[in-house]
Amino acid sequence: MWSDLPLFPARASTSAGQVDALYLYLIAISAVMSLLIAGLLVVFAVRYRRESKASRLGASNGSMRLELIWTILPFVVSMTVFVWGANIFFHVNRPPDDTMNILVVGKRWMWKLQHLNGRREINELHVPVGRAVKLTMTSEDVIHSFFVPAFRVKADVLPGRYTTLWFQATRPGRYHLFCAEYCGTKHSGMIGWIVVQQPEEFEAWLGGGVRDLSPARAGERLFTNLGCITCHNPESKGRGPSLQGVFGSTIRLKGGGIATANEAYLRESILDPQARVVDGYDPVMPTFRGLVGEEGLMQIIEYLKTIGPKAEKS
């Protein structure tokens, strides 16, 4: 019945029920405390009004029992909120291993999305019901925020950084997508839809229509056209380290220290290659800032994920 009220959108993901339960618990605590305080104010105001015959003698100097009650009870309630909230936080920030990955770029004033088979969408995202979906997101200009009320998920989309968000839809249908961070004059028009389909219907949609190159194939083309393969040649020792199986590996850095070759590290190495140089190599790589856009960076990283087995960690 709650879905008929504007303040209670449909619960259409595995996280929605957990978030709603915690929210209602917080509302209940606030309501109980508000009524208790307001009730005591009324009782004391009436009982001890100016003409009241109530005794004002024998004021208590304190009660250990009362002190323990109003110390322990609020502590237990606050710890319940903390543990419950932390459990939900870790759940929504740790996607499963078998997610369907989608690339998202926010731009004033639209959402550009691409599936890993090359199918593109603007302001609309098709996903299958019952399948965990992970979004890797960045912005081309200002801060945006990817918000799907029916899924109870929201994440800021930042320029110069990757953020992730995951959800698993539980009900087929069309659900509103909003930008929840003011991003300029047409912020209110930066809206879209999440279209949740049955798995067979989604596979038919994904395989149909016009498709671009997959992000990995497009990234391979960029990697070659920009001349990256000249220095990062896996067949021979080049001026730069081999990138065979680099994604997810541990990199030893020049001057000491280590780094994990995740999306953020690879992006930084393309745009600011002098920031963290691989041990054993000279800082000779030029920056590609301004030569590769955000979509191109995502495509190159997707290509790097595919070139060879994961390297052994040092």
pLDDT along the chain (314 residues), means of 10: 65 92 94 94 85 69 82 93 95 91 94 93 96 95 95 94 95 95 93 96 87 88 88 73 87 88 91 89 88 91 81 45
For residues 167 and 267, give the distance between their C-alpha atoms in angstroms, rounded to a whole number.
25
CA nearest to 142, candidates 117, 87, 98, 179: 179
pLDDT score recorded for residue 5:
60
The pair of three-digit structure tokens given for residue 71, joined into one six-digit string: 């110390």
Residues 6 or more apart from 312 whose CB is under 8 A from it? Answer: 249
Residues 6 or more apart from 181 whose CB is under 8 A from it? Answer: 143, 144, 145, 156, 157
Compute CA 108 distance to the chain's CA centroid, rounded to the nearest angstrom.
Answer: 19
pLDDT score recorded for residue 314:
40
Phi-psi category of residue 161: left, alpha or beta, with phi > 0 → left and psi -120 to 50 → alpha: beta
Q: What is the pTM of this model?
A: 0.82
3-state SS class at 3: helix
DSSP string for 234-249: TTS--SS---TT-TT-
Place of tokens 């290509």: 303
Looking only at the bridges linking them, the beta strands covering 153-157 and 144-148 are: antiparallel
pLDDT score recorded for residue 307:
86
Is the Cβ–Cβ distance between 186 and 273 less than 8 Å? Answer: no
For residues 125 and 102, give the distance between their C-alpha atoms in angstroms, rounded to a whole number.
9
Is the Cβ–Cβ distance between 105 and 294 less than 8 Å? Answer: yes
What is the number of other CB atoms lying within 10 angstroms of the CB of residue 85?
A: 14
pLDDT score recorded for residue 311:
46
For residues 113 and 121, give the distance between their C-alpha atoms in angstroms, rounded to a whole number.
5
pLDDT score recorded for residue 124:
96
For residues 138 and 162, give the distance between their C-alpha atoms in angstroms, rounded to a whole number.
5
pLDDT score recorded for residue 64:
83
Helix residue ranges per DSSP H, the chain: 16-47, 64-92, 199-207, 215-225, 228-231, 263-271, 294-306
HSE-CB at 247 with a 13 A cutoff on CA atoms is: 13
